[in-house]
Amino acid sequence: MKKKIIVYERLEKPVLKSLQEKYDVKFFKNIDTQTNEEFMNHLKEAEGIIGLALEVNKTLLDNAPNLKIVSNVSVGYNNLDIEELTKRHIMATNTPDVLTDTVADTVFGILLAAARRIPELDNLVKSKQWVEALGPDYYGVDIHHKTIGIIGMGRIGQAIAQRAKFGFDMNILYHSRTRKQDAETKFDATYCSLDDLLSKSDFPVLITPLTPETRGLISKREFQLMKPSAIFINASRGKTVVEKDLIAALQTGEIAAAGLDVFEQEPVSPNNSLLEMKNVVTLPHVGSSTYETELKMSELAARNLEAGLNGEKPPTMINPKVWELLTK
């Protein structure tokens, strides 16, 4: 009899098809997992879950007695209760590395777009308002030789630093939980306190995971530390920023502009003031969303899933302690 697995929200079609050939697969999207009867019935027998953004908490796990592994199709895993999963000897995995360059490209895309006012000017041309040579009211600002401040110098942070150094000859400041000697050597990056980074950066870039420590990391106080000319970039998670304070900082001119791939509420509310601001570039959380990268993420997530189902160690475990417990 085929093992039962749940696919939630998103998995690229070739990978989904491959899993369907080997397992009893049920795909779910846009459901209330607590009330959907089909989901709950399948969950009772499921040995694996693979997908994106499913809240795997104590309540869900209480209804999943046969679960062996949860495979996230993302690098972030704030949707997983790792402590509860580990307590129950259930493996948890994610998909780091494969999306590093793609997300770094997106960061520079929104940074460039905000600095050179590309969406605003694109709209001006398409709305047929370009009727004469544009003057200073429409000028953007340079990126090259400016100072970028990277908050979170993990894999993606270092890929951003690489682009900043060798693509735009920028000065690089960074702040992270630990110093990164490699980044300092390769990219002439300078470690500093968060306050110093915010006060000195032309482009503060937030690229941390969402944890209890980073929730609301950037709020009113931090925006007040930034230069009036600063362009703030958030490609981490929406809840790392107090959004009402970001809105206020933009409205009062405490900062000049922002480039956002993430929001406190996703999809973003149509009433969100950020959507009315010409000096804010908005993307719908698509940092890793190229076909090539999404396929690689799905493939890695599937390898993780199948390894766990077959009693093997998944390539990218979040809670390796479980493997130690299972193989004692």
Angle at 296 between CA 93 and CA 163, to 5 degrees: 100
Q: Encoding tokens for residue 119? A: 């969406």
Distance (Å, rounded) from C-alpha 144 to C-alpha 121?
20
- Cβ atoms of 107 and 235 within 8 Å: the answer is yes
- Tokens 């933009």 belong to 250
**Sign of the Cα pseudo-torsion (174, 176, 179, 183, in order):** negative
Task: Please check whether residue 298 is in contact with residue 12, taking contact to mean a CB–CB distance below 8 angstroms.
Answer: yes
Number of residues assigned to the chain: 328
Catalytic residue ranges: 237, 266, 285
CA distance 7 to 169: 44
Closest CA to 231 of 265, 198, 266, 182: 198
Which residue in the block uniquely carries the two structure tokens 């905000």?
114
